[in-house]
Amino acid sequence: MYHRVANSEFDPWKLCVSEENFHAQLVAITKAATTMGISDYVEANKAGYPLPKRIAVVTFDDGYVDNLHTALPLLARHKVPATFYITTGYVGSPREFWWDWLETLLIVPNELPAVLELHLPDCKREWKLGDARIYNHFARAADWDVNPWSAPVGTRLNFFYDVWKTLWPLQDKFRWSVLQDIADWSGHPEPTNLERRPMTHDELRRLAQQDFIEVGAHSVDHPPLPAHPEFEQRRQITLSRDFLQEVSPKPVRSFAYPHGEFSAQTITLLQEAGFDSAVTVEQKLAGPNCNAMVLPRFGVRDMSGDDLGLRLQKWFDHVPAANG
């Protein structure tokens, strides 16, 4: 599972893989396994066709512009098919994805005000930043390899993650309103980072037209679906499917759960909408009897091709003997 092929000065979610490393990783992947598109794999596995013992399915989530301009040429060069899961509500938007703007507002500044107070739809939250007000070079260096969810209490990264947790279940219209309040508080303008913007309609169409590329749905607004009622889950699923079907010459048959969150109801709604596979963020191998609606994925970070090759070997050491 990938998100971006780009360099980043600071990448709290570890979403970026450099162009150099992505090239080397594709070399490692093609040496270690047979690559397939997600729907080809699901269809062949369901039909019981003989499959290579080691299969790798490359996927990208969200729909960043570098997927087209940087990742696609390398995928073509190495003849690797891939599936791109698109958050359709952001396509053509001049804004960053909301989690990127939050990073701009809370991680980028060297200094922030002492107290953040947010008025949410059902409550008020307040954060006293303390030492986290100041984010100097040494504090950033200490956070470089730390995941947000494991950041020590009292650090800027922990503050960022706590605010993120507060925003992620909100409906999109409320979330953007709260983000604007945070922007006013921090003194930062509307997001304009063109390097990590979503694709435009034309860019997405160019991506989807490639023979070795499949596009899948990743919802409209990237909400945790089980946190919302049935009608909203259905809206997120069907609107994203319909949007993508207009730009893709292939059927839109696969879905990626935003944040990896799903429920039995979510799966039923996907099947009713015509999806025959869905991917999670659970890090394990997909065996021959794996439920196609909860396919696991390994996230790939910015590592060398040699390092990924070693990890692939470790993962494949546990692969089932057939169709896995």
Which amino acid would we find at residue 203? E
Residue 8 CB neighbour total at 10 angstroms? 17
Residue 192 confidence (pLDDT): 62
Q: What average pLDDT does the structure give for the chain? A: 93
| Mean pLDDT, range 61-78, rounded to an integer | 97
Q: Is 31 exposed, middle or buried (0-12, 13-18, 19+ CB in 10 A)?
A: exposed
| Predicted pLDDT at 191 | 62
The pLDDT, as a whole number, for residue 23 is: 98
> How far apart, in Å, are the Cα atoms of 318 and each of 54, 101, 322?
10, 39, 12
Task: State pLDDT tens for residues 154-172.
Answer: 999 999 999 999 999 998 8
If we measure between CA atoms, which residue out of 79, 95, 78 comes closest to residue 87? 95
Please state which of the ranges 179-193, 245-259, 274-288 shows the lowest mean pLDDT.
179-193
Q: Within the chain, how many helices (H) and strands (E) appear? A: 12, 11
Residues 32, 253: Cα–Cα separation, whole Å: 27
Say if residue 81's pLDDT is above 90: yes
Q: Flag whether pLDDT at 321 surpasses 50.
A: no
Each residue's pLDDT tens digit, 140-156: 988 888 999 999 999 99
* CATH T-level fold of 4-94+196-316: TIM Barrel (3.20.20)
Residue range 106-132: average pLDDT? 94
User: Sorting pLDDT into bands at 50, 70 and 90, what band is 77?
Assistant: very high
Q: Which helix (H) or strand (E) holds 296?
A: none
Confidence of residue 323 (pLDDT cuts 50, 70, 90): very low
The domains of the chain are located at 4-94+196-316, 98-186
Q: What is the pTM of this model?
A: 0.93
Q: Name the one residue in this structure whose structure tokens are 């091709």.
A: 305
What local confidence, expressed as pLDDT, does residue 324 receive? 37
The answer to whether residue 30 scores a pLDDT higher than 70 is yes
The residues near 86 (Cβ < 8 Å, ≥ 6 apart) are: 62, 63, 199, 204, 215, 216, 217, 218, 240, 244
Residue linked to tokens 């034309």: 202
- Mean pLDDT of all residues in 231-238: 97
Q: How many Å apart are CA 220 and CA 245, to the nearest integer?
A: 14
Written as one letter, the residue type at 54 is R
Which secondary-structure segment (H or E) carries 73?
Answer: helix 72-77
**Phi-psi domain of 179 (left: phi exceeds 0; alpha: psi -120 through 50; beta: other):** alpha
Kindly state the tokens that stand for 289.
């009897």
Amino acid sitting at position 151:
A
Tokens 């996907």 belong to 270
Q: What is the pLDDT of residue 322?
A: 41
% of the chain exceeding 70 in pLDDT: 96
